[in-house]
Structure 1
Amino acid sequence: GPFEVLMNIPVKFGGLGTDQFAWALCDAPVVLYSLARMGLQEDARVLGAAEYLAKLIRDNGWPCVASPELGSFRGPGRREDPCPYATLVMTKLLLEIPEFLGSTEVELGVESLLSLWERRRDYHPYIFYMGTDFCKLKSPEIWFDILHVLDVVSRSSLKSDDRRFSEMKDIVATKQTPSGRFIPESIWMAWKGWEFGQKKEPSRWLTLQALKILKR
């Protein structure tokens, strides 16, 4: 099954309030994605964990799921809704696993992300919005934002001519400066010392990130 990490979910959120090894569908795919990017995408342990998580998909994407060790913990949403972030990182993971390229799971994941964009004005599962803050350019790709979603969808090549994909892409394109670069519009304070951790000057890293998406 999935690799576990040390976590502590407070009792008021449905956890046990103690340090324990467990997994949740908002972090397990990120651990596996990292291992796959380091060349272990065909390792039996990584592949087995990815296959386990892939089977949790539903018609509308991946739900909020956690291992039994976390008790009754579940995010703030309806059980039948997809978790936008879990769906994003699961699709991202499977695009790194050769046997899942072009798979039904990837196709469902991509369609779920695009459907969330299409319904963004009235549908906000697990309190994930795709509004003004979502559309701000930021690095690195660690949360649910427009560049992260576009990066994943553009890697799939399944919906590159889709109207919904084009709408998001056009939003990013309009933010390009006359010199062809991109300026961060939101920053994570943990990375304030990096060149993408400010909102005054163009960022080399953010520019690379955006141009790679637009080129695809």
Structure 2
Amino acid sequence: MANLNKPQSMTLEITQTICSPDHDHPNIFTIYAAGNLTPPATTISPSEEHGDIKAQLIAVGKMRLTSPQGQAFYHECQAYDTAHSEDCARLDKVENFLANESLLGDFGEIVASAETVLFTEEVWLHRSLRGKGLSLVMVKEFIELLTLGKNAVVMLQAGDITREADNGGESTERLTRHWKKLGFSEWSDSDDAWLLLSTLLGE
């Protein structure tokens, strides 16, 4: 993963939501991270959040043990979306991209052998902290704290899902350049909305 010059850092507190067994997605977990700026931001009141991340951790390696053809991945993503419909969950989009998209070079093999997929659904920063590169710092520290291992794929969608844009005012192209500073890149030449990063490549 790319090194960043960071005059400030984000202290993250990570929590994992345990879903009811009857939700039928035993290999998909919801991860939240609340970030606070170090040193503290004087422009933000103590009661306000500095930033947060919402993600889904998908144990695709365990799914392949029970369903080598990918049915478990499909069914668990569908079950997750149903169980979390109030949160507008859309893991079906993640599954569809990974299962059906033609990926460039060796990326298809990397996805096929990955043990873990981390879908970074949402990245948010307090308005006064935007434009300083702190979202990159926060996501980098988030990935490192999760200790995903050497065979994991991290995914996000620039613009569509993240709240980094100001009510959609930021262009997808600008956000794509933003996330590429962290090592994310397009793995498909037909769907460049998705940006991915592999711990296997040591990015």
TM-score, normalization by structure 1? 0.30
Q: Kindly indicate which of the two structures has a greater share of residues assigned to helix.
A: 1
Larger Rg: 1
Q: Kindly indicate which of the two structures has a greater share of residues assigned to strand.
A: 2
Structure having greater relative contact order (Cα 8 Å, sep ≥ 6): 2
TM-score, normalization by structure 2? 0.31
